[in-house]
Amino acid sequence: MAVRELSIEQSLPDNLDAERFVLGGIMSNAMAFLQVAGTLTPEDFSLEKHRRIFLRMTDLHDRGETIDRVTLANELMKHGQLQSVDGLSYLVSLDDGLPQLHNIESYVSIIKEKSLRRRLITISQDTIHRCLTSDEEAKEILGAFEDALMKLSDIDAKKSLASPAHIVTEYEGGINAFLDANRRVKGLGTGFVKFDEMTGGLREGELFILAGRPAMGKTALALNIAQHVATNVKDPKAVAIFSLEMSKESLLTRLICTAARVDQQRFRAGYLNEDERRLLRNAMYRLVESPLFIDDTAGTNLMEVHSKVRRLQAEQDLGLVVLDYLQLMQGRGRFENRVQEISSLSRGLKLMSKDLGVPFLVLSQLSRAPEVRTGDHRPMLSDLRESGSIEQDADLVAFIFREEVYRPDKESLKGLAELILAKQRNGPTGRVKLAFLNRYTKFENLATEPGDDDVPFE
């Protein structure tokens, strides 16, 4: 069928009986309003008169007044809407045929389902209309469509409140497993012992922001973690890396040289001895066999990331998603400024991580504040570039810091790095000391002397 011939030949999805039973149930038992108020909105009803009735019920409830036929009719009359809902006779008819033991939650579920279908149809029709009649760029229309779908998917994302008994009952293994720390699900190990001890690893559905100034080693640290997850001998898991800055060939080169512990400069120059070639071949074989996947599409957006990750998750045991880096992503839709756009992206990534049940490791740039700051150049949360809601959305925010970058003449600082845990929603903050092998762009655990433990924040 040609595009110009597209039309909706049947009426929009609805279930008028379910709508009538919900409204009638509220009038017959005002307490029933509490069961639906947090789920339904006036827009969920298909008929305008049902929307007006529910809205007036909400007004009565907000004022603490009883909801029944008389009070509702009076409220509608005050707003000049009684006749528009077919008068008192229609209100009386709403509970006609209402089952004596009606299941109002089932009716609410039906109404929400039909409402979602209507919204999908409306969004689709609007997109078709703009494609046919608008002078907008196709990418702008696509962006608005994706933005509308993302907002629509968030409508039903809220779960109902759960009691402690319900939580424990639903927990795999029951109360004994819930109370046994050794049996509780632990996060994904990163290969950095102190970091894993402080955080419990990277947990499902959590957003981990790793930030730092240029040349500090953000990408190197993220690749080290990704490589550890994908090549873990005991339990390898798939890793998806989205690189918005480097090509997949450059990333693979880094990964191979890091795994083989071969100097990247010697590799690029071609000055390799036989031992180094052997190490590179072995590293290549291990990486080829590992479930590691790289996407270097420039200017990727949330919907593209979501689609690719969901497809990979259906095929692999996905353990981690890495995105390098946040400020290079493109937001869909119109934003008043860059801060709003970045805030939309960070919120979208957090929702995506929760929806897919996979930890997201997202790299972020910092402002120049640490460089102009006198004395201590360690980053702070306020240094997050175009921060918006990055700090708010993230479950964990860490900064990679190497003081040798600011004081290259001090020999004792060479090869030392700090991973600063500035925010952790479910654990302590503090600093983890690491070793940085610049030749291999590789971070490693740093053996500490007695009394030289990692430093918690005061």
Q: Does domain 187-445 have CATH number 3.40.50.300?
A: yes
Q: What is the SS3 assignment for 382?
A: helix
Q: pLDDT grade, residue 323 (50/70/90)?
A: very high
For residue 142, what are the contacts with CB-CB under 8 A and spacing of at least 6? 332
Per-residue pLDDT for 455 more than 60? Answer: no
Whether the model clears a pTM of 0.75, i.e. scores above it, the answer is no
CATH class of 11-135: mainly alpha
Q: What is the pLDDT of residue 177?
A: 64
Mean pLDDT of 4-24: 74
Check: CB of residue 157 under 8 Å from CB of residue 351: yes
Q: Is the pLDDT of residue 101 over 60?
A: no
H or E stretch covering 32: helix 32-36
* Mean pLDDT comparison of 81-90, 92-101, 270-279, 321-330, highest-scoring range: 81-90
Q: 372-401 pLDDT, tens per residue?
A: 777 777 888 777 766 667 777 888 889 888
What are the two backbone dihedrals, phi and then psi, of residue 140, each rounded to the nearest 5 degrees?
-65, -40
Task: Give the mean model confidence (pLDDT) for residues 263-280.
Answer: 79
In the predicted model, what is the mean pLDDT of residues 236-257? 86
pLDDT in tens, 174-202: 666 666 655 555 678 888 888 888 888 88
Q: How far, in Å, CA of 358 to CA of 238, rounded?
A: 11
CATH 1.10.860.10 maps onto the chain at 11-135
What is the reported pLDDT for 449? 43
Q: Which residue has the higher pLDDT, 165 or 55?
A: 55
Report the DSSP pairing between strands 360-365 and 396-401: unpaired
Helix (H) or strand (E) holding 343: helix 338-356
Q: Is the Cβ–Cβ distance between 245 and 223 less than 8 Å? A: no
In the predicted model, what is the mean pLDDT of the chain?
Answer: 79
Specify the range with the lowest mean pLDDT, choosing from 16-25, 91-100, 309-318.
91-100
Q: Give pLDDT, residue 61.
A: 81
**Greatest mean pLDDT range, 29-38, 173-182, 199-208, 449-458:** 199-208
Contact by Cβ (8 Å): 294, 308? no
| Burial environment of residue 77 by CB neighbours within 10 A (0 to 12, 13 to 18, 19 or more) | middle
Mean pLDDT across 284-308: 82
Mean pLDDT of 222-231: 89
Taking CA atoms, 1 is separated from 6, 22, 340, 407, in Å, by 7, 40, 40, 69
- 141-145: list long-range contacts, CB under 8 Å, 24+ apart: 142/332, 143/301, 143/332, 143/333, 144/332, 144/333
Reported confidence tier of residue 4, pLDDT bands at 50, 70, 90: very low
pLDDT tens-digit profile of 114-141? 988 999 998 898 889 889 887 788 877 8
For the ranges 104-118, 231-245, 364-378, 433-447, the lowest mean pLDDT is seen at 364-378
The Cα 347–Cα 372 span in angstroms is: 30
Span(s) in the chain for CATH 3.40.50.300: 187-445
Distances (CA, A) of 288 to 255, 277, 282, 359: 11, 16, 10, 23
Mean pLDDT for 325-345 is 72
pLDDT at 52: 92
Exposed, middle or buried by CB within 10 Å (0-12, 13-18, 19+), for 275? exposed
